[in-house]
Amino acid sequence: MPRSAPRPSSAKNAPLVFKSAVETALTKLGLVRDIDLALHLPLRYEDETRIAKLRDAREGDTAQIEALVMRCEVSYRPRRQLVVTVDDGTDICILRFFSFYPSQQKALAVGNRIRARGELKGGFLGWTMLHPAFRSAVGDLPKALTPIYPTVAGLAQHVLRKEVLAGLARADLSDTFSPGDLSQISPHSLWTLRDALSFLHHPKADVALAALQDHSHPAWQRLKAEELLAQQISQLHTRRVRAHLRAPVLRQISPDSGTPALEPDTPVLLSLPESLLTKLPFALTAAQQRVQAEIAQDMARLVPMHRLLQGDVGSGKTVVAALAAAVCIDAGWQCALMAPTEILAEQHFRKLIGWLEPLGVTTAWLTGNQKATERRAVLAMVESGEAQLVVGTHAVIQEKVQFKNLALAIIDEQHRFGVAQRLALRSKLRHEGMEPHLLMMTATPIPRTLAMSYYADLDVSTLDELPPGRTPVVTKVVHEDRRAEVIERIRHQIELGRQVYWVCPLIEESEALDLTNATETHAGLQLALQGVTTAAGEKAQVGLLHSRMPADEKKSVMAAFTQGHMALLVSTTVIEVGVDVPNASLMVIEHAERFGLSQLHQLRGRVGRGAAASACVLLYSTGDSTRLGETARERLKAMAQTSDGFEIARRDLEIRGPGEFLGARQSGEAMLRFADLATDTALLEWARREARVLLDHHPVLAEKHVARWLGGKSEFLKA
């Protein structure tokens, strides 16, 4: 890659380096190092190794012809265009260019012999190519397929090819593991890294294109193995580094340990977690007891806990978090719980106050919408240690928030937080050389392959059991044409004394998407349900909730619905997580075809929380089309077939890939560019084993391997 010349410097000014246009474009693509260029693989290939004859061509073929230019002229009908007539000796073809330069006209002058490649279209006037690629018919035909690379504006393919070739030649592509190590995965994978990359940049013409396109070729197997190995080494290294960090030891205080026998009438002093368990109006499930023990065991160690608590919607993660907080507070330290939305944070706040405040725990509420005087008072409580538990949104990690002795950080819906936000919360412990224990929670179960790859640095606890009394939710997929029937179903539920959610994807009209918005839907349902009364004989109230409402108004609406004063709540997806209203028995999701699978599952989880039979109606629209798209149909089918969150997660991974699950874990950058977790499980298993071998016996090679593939991005795995 060419180097830029520095600007002449003076004694006062440091030299400045200017980038060329090519370097700027390469930087936009992330191609900074030679290895970046070497790993910048083609999107597709063009076959310029053979010449086709027009007499043998078929409509729609993409072909390369070699022909003599018979005519070249600029036409102005019906619009300005360059029209070139060529003859390959078997037939005539018209080349049309609606955008062209004088240099192209010169290259296409009458009498020149050219090679043109493009899609052949038939018609009344014979064969035509629109904007074909062309070059002078000088020299031999290429021996390999021509790569077409991902690029940006201002970086032509021929320039990018030259840069990639140069980077490939300069890059250190020495193997960090033996090709034979892959033989257990595929007997044909005995390719070196250099051989694999050289082949993929310039495959021979006789290679099966299908094997290149579906990444099943042995050269692709080598690259995917390399990439997965880099990820696994980085994850394993991160886990081992964390083992050397220190955190507060939070042991659950037991009144029976090391104390003399008490007189029969002496009252037993329970620890805070034990007191909480006695006050709860329900018994823990076996899964909750198991997970609570795993977390307590982690927090009792000197090494920082880094645990992901996953559980399906309604599996009882909040009470497990409350027990972890109780252990922390009982040991004399502070705990913080951060949620992505104010509604979810407030839901946690209300539950935790109800459970812990009667036990003498001081809980503080912290969000960005608080008044200055209230916020100052809360900040003072946090800094002094008076606030033993702090619940809030992103406001918890702001610089002004100073904890006295934070020892446990709990993050709910962890995939909605970025790396920097998680790191900021972990940095709130000011004791030198220590960091708080970290418990992350998610209601989106993690498929096994994701847990093995992106979450390999975490300990994972799973709540695989729902509390007793939860009723199964019946899911119906209904076309928009049956909207009136759905409204009649709502009327019936309200008259029985039940409550209903109606979820819309937008707040206001959008010119880009023809979707019914929440405000219009609210007005329409108010009109449709006027005169309907609840089981108590009161007029049915229809509320509206969306993210742009003032905080006080949102709070008031949610309180009215939670307390049963509102029969129907029309809302955007702000109620996706955290809202717990046991009396709600019906959920209607409008334009369900527009939602992601995991989001639909989360929304469905808002009903079925009480004893009443519950249903979720997925109201879909096909617009001007007569049928749904393939992806939307698969999502709705999955929702109707299963309510198992783990099965939903597996199907979502198949349909949309890992991005939905990862959120900002890698700061928006996909850590896997080539490997596919749905199909490369065997390679992933191999990479897990090989990572341990390299780190234990060849640490220098392991470091080199990670630097080659991840560069600085491996830092993001620490969060």
At 623-680, the pLDDT tens digits run 766 667 778 888 898 899 888 877 887 787 777 665 544 543 433 344 578 888 778 8
At 322-354, the pLDDT tens digits run 999 999 999 999 999 988 878 778 888 888 999
- pLDDT reading at 707 higher than 60: yes
Q: What angle do CA 196, 200, 201 make, to 5 degrees?
A: 120
pLDDT at 421: 61
Range scoring the smallest mean pLDDT among 42-56, 113-127, 547-561:
547-561
Cβ atoms of 288 and 320 within 8 Å: the answer is yes
Task: Please state, rounded to an integer, the average pLDDT across all residues of the chain.
Answer: 83
CA distances to 37, 168, 171, 195, 677 from 174, in Å = 16, 12, 9, 11, 26
pLDDT at 448: 73
- Give the Cα separation of 260 and 91 in Å (integer): 105
pLDDT at 716: 41
- Give the Cα separation of 117 and 46 in Å (integer): 9
- Give the highest mean pLDDT range of 128-137, 311-320, 430-439: 128-137
At 161-199, the pLDDT tens digits run 999 999 999 999 998 887 666 666 654 457 889 999 999
Please name which of 707, 702, 697 lies closest in space to residue 687, comparing C-alpha atoms.
Answer: 702
Do the domains at 272-463 and 473-642 have one common CATH topology?
yes
pLDDT at 501: 94
**Residue spans per domain, the chain:** 50-141, 272-463, 473-642
pLDDT at 625: 60
pLDDT at 121: 92
Q: Is 174 exposed, middle or buried (0-12, 13-18, 19+ CB in 10 A)?
A: exposed
Q: Is 359 exposed, middle or buried (0-12, 13-18, 19+ CB in 10 A)?
A: middle
- Give the Cα separation of 260 and 258 in Å (integer): 7
What distance, in Å, lies between the first and last C-alpha atoms of the chain?
34
Range scoring the smallest mean pLDDT among 1-5, 637-641, 706-710:
1-5
User: Is residue 7 very low, low, confident or very high in pLDDT (cuts 50, 70, 90)?
Assistant: very low
pLDDT at 2: 42
Strands 459-463 and 306-311: what pairing?
parallel
Residues in CB range of 402: below 8 A, 6 or more apart: 379, 382, 383, 428, 430
Cβ atoms of 375 and 623 within 8 Å: the answer is no
- Give the Cα separation of 331 and 407 in Å (integer): 10
pLDDT at 171: 94
What does the pLDDT average to over 1-18?
Answer: 45
Higher pLDDT, 664 or 610: 610
- pLDDT reading at 366 higher than 60: yes
At 462-517, the pLDDT tens digits run 888 877 767 778 999 999 899 999 999 999 999 999 999 999 886 555 544 555 67
Percent of the chain with pLDDT over 90: 40
What does the pLDDT average to over 349-360?
Answer: 90
- Give the Cα separation of 96 and 119 in Å (integer): 12
Higher pLDDT, 235 or 96: 96
Please name which of 257, 42, 16 lies closest in space to residue 147, comparing C-alpha atoms.
Answer: 42
pLDDT at 336: 92
- pLDDT reading at 579 higher than 60: yes
Please name which of 335, 342, 344, 340 lies closest in space to residue 364, comparing C-alpha atoms.
Answer: 335
Alpha helix positions (H), 75-150 = 102-107
- Give the Cα separation of 603 and 427 in Å (integer): 33
Q: Read out DSSP for 189-240?
A: ----HHHHHHHHHS-BTTS-HHHHHTT-SHHHHHHHHHHHHHHHHHHHHHHH
Q: Tokens at residue 537, please?
A: 């004989």
At 71-106, the pLDDT tens digits run 999 999 888 999 999 999 999 999 999 989 899 999
Higher pLDDT, 533 or 14: 533
pTM passes above 0.85: no
pLDDT at 5: 41
CA distances to 518, 556, 569, 603 from 508, in Å = 7, 21, 17, 20
Residues in CB range of 348: below 8 A, 6 or more apart: 318, 321, 337, 339, 391, 412, 578
Side chain identity at residue 510, one-letter code: S
Long-range CB contacts for residues 517-520, cutoff 8 Å, separation at least 24: 518/544, 518/546, 518/570, 518/571, 518/572, 519/544
pLDDT at 508: 57
- Give the Cα separation of 489 and 539 in Å (integer): 17
Number of CB atoms found within 10 A of residue 154's CB: 11
User: Is residue 713 very low, low, confident or very high in pLDDT (cuts 50, 70, 90)?
Assistant: low
Range scoring the smallest mean pLDDT among 5-19, 35-49, 321-335, 524-538:
5-19
What's the topology of domain 473-642? Rossmann fold (3.40.50)
pLDDT at 227: 92
CATH classification for the domain delimited by 50-141, as one of 3.40.50.1100, 2.40.50.140, 2.70.98.60, 3.30.70.3400: 2.40.50.140
Q: What is the largest CA-CA distance in the chain?
A: 114
Domain 272-463 top-level CATH class: alpha beta
- pLDDT reading at 69 higher than 90: yes
556 φ/ψ angles, rounded to the nearest 5 degrees: -65, -45
pLDDT at 575: 67
- Report the half-sphere exposure of 562 (CA within 13 A, side-chain side): 16
